[in-house]
Structure formats: C-alpha cells, structure tokens
C-alpha cells in the first residue's frame, strides 16, 4: 500500500496534486510546525530563525519547533525539507548561502534548490571582517601585509557554502595571500576557534560578531555594507578599504517544500510579515544588526532569482569549490 507521501509524490509527478480546500486552509495550522535550520545552534541563522519561530508561534497559535540539521554546507537540512510533505508543517530557514551559493559551489546536489516555494524574505545581514586581538593588523591593508609576511601560517574558518566561506575565498583570491581555509559546520564553532587562536580572520554576520567586537574580544577591520554601520562608526567599509566590488549583504528567509498550496503559503507569509512589522521585532533585529525585509512570496521569488546569478559569479571569481 502506498503511503500518503508516496501517493502525493505520484500525483505531483502526474500533475494531479490535490488542491487544498478552503476549509482546510482556514484550519491550518492545527498542530505544531517544524522549522528546519540547516546549521548548528548559536550561529546567526539559528538566532534569526528562533526569533521568527517565536513570532509565528504567537501569531498562528501553534508551537513552532526549531530543528537544527547541520551538515554539507546546509544541504542536509535543505534536502530534509525538499522531501517533506507539502502541507505547511515543515519549513526551511533558507539563506543566500544555501539557496544561491551552495548550488554554484556544488552543482551535483541530490535535490533541486530552485523547487522550494518562497514564503517570505526576512532580513538582510551585513557582514564584518574581524581578527582576534592577537593578530596585530588594525586595517585590511595591514592584515594583507601581515598575511603576506606569514605565508601559509594563517587560517580562516567558515561553514561550507555560506557567504562567510565565499567572502573569505574571494578575499584570498583578490589579495593573493596564502591563507588556509578550515571548514566548519556553523558560525558558532568557527568563532569559538577564532577566539581560541586556532583561526586568524573571519567574515561573518554582524548578528553574532558585534557583541564580541563590543567586548574587545575581536577587532573589526571592515564592514561589507555599502555605508558604514552606525554602531561601528570608526570601522570602514570594504569599498573604503580598497575592494569596490566586494559583496554586501547576505540574506535569510522562509521557504516550504515544492507544491505547497498557495493558500498555506499566503497564510504563513501574512504571519511572518505581521511579526516583522511589529516594533518588538524591528528592535530585536536591529539589536542583532539585521535589517527587516518583509514582502510577498512573489517578491521573495524575484529577489532569489536576481541574487543567485550574482553569488554564482562570485563563486566563479573566487575559484571556490566543494569536492564531493
């Protein structure tokens, strides 16, 4: 006997996937929702996802369980959502790393990243280049000079297939420095190793790095945003540091499995936007150095379509790859 999932898959393949009735759409959700984050706990993606999960919980009156499924640069968790039932009870916390960069780094993924149904763009995430205080460089040019004076002795860490990974590779490519890339399963462990002296430079979201900069545990050399970041007025941009074409913001948002009914997508979108436009959410996101970006599913789909070629070209420029 076919399972419900097998039956839905067979119907979908034949173009006969059942529509959701208005009554069913109205009753959704009537049980807990799972939000899969394809990275470990503690990193910027996890922090943002849990914030949105709390907002959805309050709006939809159902528990939203955040589940971290790290591995393969985000592919492990993404695939879990790609193969889940399209009923609105399994959501993906997507990002520029998993949806735009990873497919360019690894064209042999065993799921289709373009098949996810966009629900809502959530935020733009400016990044910052940091070094531990033991590294003597106080500017980007000083770091380049320091790395060239110590070829092969410095490391940088990042999770595979993420903006920090690509930015680090691109920086290495543009400067010609000999710095070793160390892959991590997420931002939290890579930052911990940098604080412990195992790595010597990192690009990552201001979301998690700003508190460490404030505490004097890390030194900010440049921000990737077009303008200087207000909480760090003395830190120049990458453009000011001599890199006019360096990428600016990463992004994050919510998506659902292929063939999820539009009525459910619309309900989720409305709930997310309601949360993002609240004064509390704006204040929290600003605290984490993230810029709220509510909008429609169609706008999110267009945004992904515009961003993916940009990141893919940066992957090509950097020479970064993921070996299978």
Residues 6+ apart with CB under 8 A from 317: 170, 173
Q: What is the reported pLDDT for 3?
A: 47
Task: To the nearest 10°, report the CA torsion of 24, 25, 27, 29.
Answer: 120
Q: What is the reported pLDDT for 288?
A: 66
Residues 16-46, buried b or exposed e (16+ Cβ, 10 A)? Answer: ebeebeeebbeebbeeebbbbbbbbebbbbb
Q: What is the reported pLDDT for 38?
A: 94
| CA atoms of 99 and 219, how far apart (whole Å) | 30
Domain coordinates in residue numbering, the chain: 19-124+250-318, 126-223
| 240: its two tokens | 């000011």
Q: What is the reported pLDDT for 281?
A: 80
Cα–chain-centroid distance for residue 25?
Answer: 29
Q: What is the reported pLDDT for 1?
A: 45
Q: Do 19-124+250-318 and 126-223 have matching folds?
A: yes
Residue range 126-223 forms a domain whose CATH class is alpha beta
| CA atoms of 10 and 264, how far apart (whole Å) | 21
pLDDT tens digits along 220-229: 999 998 889 8
Q: What is the reported pLDDT for 25?
A: 66
**Alpha helices in the chain, H assignment, sequence order:** 4-13, 22-27, 44-60, 75-82, 96, 102-105, 140-149, 163-175, 187-195, 206-214, 262-276, 279-287, 297-318
Which residues are 184's β-sheet partners? 159
User: Quick check: 82 and 111 in contact, CB under 8 A?
Assistant: yes
| CA atoms of 168 and 140, how far apart (whole Å) | 13
Flag residues of the chain having pLDDT under 50.
Answer: 1-19, 324
Computed over its alpha carbons, how large is the radius of gyration of the chain? Answer: 20
Residue range 19-124+250-318 forms a domain whose CATH class is alpha beta
Q: Which of 113, 199, 90 is nearest to 161 (CA)?
A: 113
Pairing of strands 117-132, 202-205: antiparallel
Burial label, 1 (beta-carbon count in 10 A; 0-12, 13-18, 19+)? exposed
Measured over the CA atoms of residue 215, residue 218, residue 220 and residue 224, the dihedral's sign is negative
Q: What is the reported pLDDT for 242?
A: 95
Q: How many helices (H) and strands (E) does the chain have?
A: 13, 10
User: Quick check: 272 and 122 in contact, CB under 8 A?
Assistant: yes
User: Quick check: 33 and 60 in contact, CB under 8 A?
Assistant: yes
222 membership: H or E segment, kind and range: strand 218-223
Q: What is the reported pLDDT for 24?
A: 61
């Amino acid at each position: 006997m076919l399972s419900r999932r097998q039956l839905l898959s067979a119907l979908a393949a034949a173009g006969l996937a059942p529509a959701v009735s208005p009554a069913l759409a109205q009753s959704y959700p009537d049980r807990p929702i799972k939000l899969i984050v394809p990275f470990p706990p503690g990193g910027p993606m996890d922090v943002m996802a849990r914030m949105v999960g709390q907002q959805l919980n309050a709006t939809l009156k159902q528990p939203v369980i955040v589940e971290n499924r790290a591995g393969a640069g985000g592919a492990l968790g993404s695939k879990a959502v790609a193969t889940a039932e399209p009923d609105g009870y399994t959501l993906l916390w997507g990002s520029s790393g998993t949806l735009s960069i990873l497919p360019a780094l690894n064209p042999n993924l065993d799921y289709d990243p373009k098949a996810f149904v966009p629900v809502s763009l959530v935020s733009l995430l400016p990044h910052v280049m940091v070094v531990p205080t033991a590294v003597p460089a106080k500017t980007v040019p000083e770091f380049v000079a320091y790395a060239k004076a110590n070829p092969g002795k410095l490391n940088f860490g990042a999770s595979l297939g993420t903006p920090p990974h690509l930015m680090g590779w691109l920086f290495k490519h543009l400067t010609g420095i000999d710095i070793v890339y160390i892959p991590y399963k997420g931002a939290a462990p890579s930052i911990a190793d940098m604080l412990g002296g195992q790595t010597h430079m990192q690009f990552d979201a201001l979301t998690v790095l700003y508190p460490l900069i404030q505490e004097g545990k890390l030194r900010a050399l440049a921000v990737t945003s077009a303008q200087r970041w207000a909480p760090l007025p003395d830190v120049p941009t990458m453009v000011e540091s001599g890199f006019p074409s360096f990428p600016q913001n990463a992004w994050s948002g919510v998506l659902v499995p292929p063939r999820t009914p539009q009525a459910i997508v619309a309900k989720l979108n409305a709930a997310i936007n309601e949360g993002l436009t609240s004064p509390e959410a704006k204040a929290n996101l600003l605290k984490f150095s993230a810029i709220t970006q509510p909008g429609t599913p169609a706008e999110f789909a267009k945004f992904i379509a515009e961003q993916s070629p940009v990141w893919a070209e940066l992957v090509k420029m950097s020479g970064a790859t993921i070996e299978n």
